[in-house]
Amino acid sequence: MPCMKRALFPAAIILLLVAISCNNSTQTSDMIITNARIWTGNADQPFAEAMAVSGDTIVAIGSNREVMKHRSVSGTLIDLGGMFVVPGFIDTHVHLLQGGSNLASVQLRDASTPEEFIKRIREFAATQKPGTWILGGDWDGMGWESLPARSWIDSVTSDHPVFVSRLDGHMALANSLAMKIAGIDRKVKDVTGGTIERDARGELTGIFKDNAMDLISVKIPEQSAEEIDIALVAAMKYLASNGVTSVHALDAAAYADGLDRVRASGRQITRIYYLQTISRWADMKEQVERAGRGDRWLSTGGVKGFVDGSLGSHTAAFLEPYTDLPTDTGLFVNSEQDLYTWVSAADKAGLQVAIHAIGDRAINTLLNIYERVAAENGDRDRRFRIEHSQHIAPADIERYGKLKVIASMQPYHAIDDGRWAEEYIGPERAKTTYAFRSLLDSGATLAFGSDWFVAPATPLEGIYAAATRRTLDGMNPGGWIPEQKITVEEALKAYTINAAYASFEEDFKGTLEPGKLADFVVLDRDITAIDPVEIYDMKVQQTWVGGKKVFDRTEEQ
């Protein structure tokens, strides 16, 4: 109601009422964070000392004195004693259910020898009921003389079918029991868009790559609703411990019922944007038309597809052959015609399109498709994404900015792959591998994520990787391809405001400013003021989602 004078009131009373009504515009808060150093992500107000929150929303941010004007009698005051605060990290590429499931499975990522690989599977199998499938694993295998084989593990898993994945998710090892259950023997035919490994005698080794993995995976029993819910809750707790408040779950349409159950039970602590398989774009169109795109906890409206495989599995598609395998240029998981048909139809339906492309041939093909579809379907705010964008032909880098294609990348992969990538593609192609600097300079939007379960969902390690490019083996202290480093602040933006932009959510999250969600992370140091090398040892102290604390390191100890 506007302020107005009432002729019947004495002048003094009128003035008092006007003062109370017109000056009581300062919104009170439920909670005030004070004595902090806050990186807001907002270019108009980069740093602040304090922040007031009402419900799940920020109502004020600025100096301690300014923000304390919003304090209410019943509100909570939290003095952070100078700790550093950033917007909640947004991971733009996760496999949420498998990540949560793998937390309880055999851990093979750091098994550095075949002997250790076998030992861990043997010990894990001994803890499982006979007949239980052993999955996950995330083995690496770099430096081994050969890929693992079923002969390594058959004797220690006679009661358990095994299908353990390489950490890139594009290759897996099956034991003989798993192959028997799947009805597979040496007579099995090759699969388009995949590889079935055979030894010199034509016998199956147990290694299946990309589309060939479906021969085994279709026989794996579906998880129960309870198992799915347990895995999703475990995944969210893990994410919160690493400061992740939102994720883009690119395969989650398959377990959307589980997400609904977790939310209904009050256990959802991570905001989720999920996508549908691109070949099923019509299902997503129907869902959006029927039920809308969701809300700030659970939203959708996009589709996800694949062009090629991965570098580590020699299935990423390149314009020229692999350096270490001159007869091979990788493979397309889907045909170019199918990809064009799906992208065009999904785009016409108003859906966002995000497609996995790793090798330079795959990226070039996808950019061509995106350019064609945009020209044919007309101008709109479509925000096409290329997931991974790892090995880009130099001439294609500037096309990201020109075509407004989002480079959805995972910087941890750079310091992992940097140990061995040049053996596969040579030093010249490596110059534009994980080309963070070149892409930013082209005007492209960088949105960062992890690809968890493939890599750990640890944004601090991702920022460290983008800013230092120091490989995990310690062999590149000055950075692997150092000219592609970016600044810490640029990496922070890729994990916050750019990541929110990548899901059309920048209006209500990604920065800390009035009117946006109170999703934030408390760190033990000012990440913008230290040597980027020190970021590797930093810790998340607290994680807050919608003004509620969902992780506190002191409570975990």
Helix H, strand E, coil C: the string for 40-71 is CCCCCCCEECEEEEECCEEEEEECHHHHHHHC
Contact (CB, 8 A) for 499 and 90 = yes
How many angstroms separate the CA atoms of 508 and 297, rounded? 12
Sign of CA dihedral 148, 152, 156, 162: positive
How many angstroms separate the CA atoms of 169 and 94, rounded? 12
**Tokens 């040049």 map to which residue?**
422
Measured CA to CA in angstroms, residue 434 lies from 307, 360, 458, 484, 533 at distances of 18, 12, 18, 7, 19
Q: How confident is the model at residue 146 (pLDDT cuts 50, 70, 90)?
A: confident
pTM here is 0.86
Q: How confident is the model at residue 160 (pLDDT cuts 50, 70, 90)?
A: very high
How does the average pLDDT of the chain come out, rounded? 93
Output the pLDDT for position 18: 40
Contact (CB, 8 A) for 366 and 315 = no
User: Of the candidates 502, 89, 492, which has an alpha carbon nearest to the alpha carbon of residue 299?
Assistant: 502
- Is 3 a residue whose pLDDT tops 80? no
Ranked by mean pLDDT, the top range of 101-115, 136-150, 242-256 is: 242-256
Beta strand pairing status for 271-277 and 298-306?
Answer: parallel
Contact (CB, 8 A) for 405 and 459 = no
- Is 306 a residue whose pLDDT tops 90? yes
How many angstroms separate the CA atoms of 125 and 106, rounded? 9
Q: Helices marked H in 407-540 — which ranges?
A: 411-417, 421-430, 436-441, 459-468, 488-495, 497-501
* pLDDT tens figures, 70-94: 999 889 999 999 999 999 999 999 9
* pLDDT tens figures, 223-276: 899 989 999 999 999 999 999 999 999 999 999 999 999 999 999 999 999 999
* pLDDT tens figures, 331-361: 999 999 999 999 999 999 999 999 999 999 9
* pLDDT tens figures, 173-218: 999 999 999 999 999 999 998 999 999 999 999 999 989 999 999 9
- Is 24 a residue whose pLDDT tops 50? no
Q: What is the rounded (10 degree) CA torsion for 208, 424, 108, 356?
A: -70
User: Of the candidates 108, 91, 217, 197, which has an alpha carbon nearest to the alpha carbon of residue 151?
Assistant: 197
User: Of the candidates 36, 32, 31, which has an alpha carbon nearest to the alpha carbon of residue 81?
Assistant: 36
SS3 at position 542: strand
Q: How confident is the model at residue 557 (pLDDT cuts 50, 70, 90)?
A: low
Output the pLDDT for position 25: 57
User: Of the candidates 9, 16, 10, 17, which has an alpha carbon nearest to the alpha carbon of residue 1?
Assistant: 17
User: Of the candidates 446, 357, 445, 461, which has an alpha carbon nearest to the alpha carbon of residue 413?
Assistant: 461
